[in-house]
Copies of this chain bind each other. A is one copy, B any other.
Amino acid sequence: MSRLLSEDQLEAELRDIGARRYHRLHPFHHLLHGGLCTKGQVQAWALNRYYYQAMIPIKDANLLARCYDSELRRNWRTRLVDHDGEVADAGAGAASHEGGVERWLRLTDGVGLDRDYVVSERGLLPATRFAVDAYVHFVREKTLLEAVASCLTELFSPEIISERLDGMLRNYDFVSADTLAYFVKRPPQATRDADYALAYVKKNAKTPEAQSAVLRALEFKCDVLWAMLDALHHAYVDPKHVPPGSFVPND
């Protein structure tokens, strides 16, 4: 890329990457939302996605740790609050004080996984760990602008989350509304965060090289999410090759 894009053009290119490469297009998502997964496949998805949820605050703390802009830090720290909450387990009726990681554990509870097993990470697919850790390392090692841009998949997440909420409630009798509390809380947070990050990127990517780096950062993040679903699909759907040591469903 050799030409400087306008802010609107940059946003259009970012949205085009989402339209082509976001994991909403992955076959595993169609299975999951369409009610075509077995309970074991839903468990495997929830178990592996837990690792992503658990590492998001680490990712955000790494961004904070290298950010010398106090306005950006003030904004970004709300992500830690969203994910870690105010208390570990607020109990029924006080769920607004819980964080996203805790709410994800309600989901893994709800689909019948032992919480100690989930948190131990023993059953994870290695490919899940490699992909998620790649995201953490990216945020730690690339420029701050690229680190911010890598979260822009959140531009596309509210829609996929609402599909997931509807599809999973309708299609799986082992999934309840309480189990899916994560997905109720998350879209407004994601929208707020994505709007902020998009404005930051548009304002700060002011050379063709910086704009190109921003676009590559979003592609990278799409690759992370896609690789996570590829690994699930390979291990649990087709051809069902579970790697040595990873979670084996009962069904």
Contact = CB atoms under 8 A, between A and B. Distances in A.
Interface of A: 20-21, 27, 125-127, 129-131, 133-134, 137, 219-220, 222-224, 226-227, 230-231, 233-235, 238-239, 241, 243-245
B233 A241 contact: yes
B226 A21 contact: no
18 contacts: A20-B244, A21-B245, A27-B241, A125-B227, A126-B223, A126-B227, A127-B130, A130-B224, A133-B134, A133-B137, A134-B134, A219-B245, A222-B244, A230-B231, A233-B234, A233-B239, A233-B241, A239-B239
* CB-based closest 9 A-B pairs: A126-B223, A234-B234, A130-B130, A130-B134, A127-B227, A21-B244, A238-B239, A130-B131, A126-B227
Given A134-B129, A239-B239, A244 B226 contact: yes
A231 B233 CA distance: 11
A127 B21 contact: no
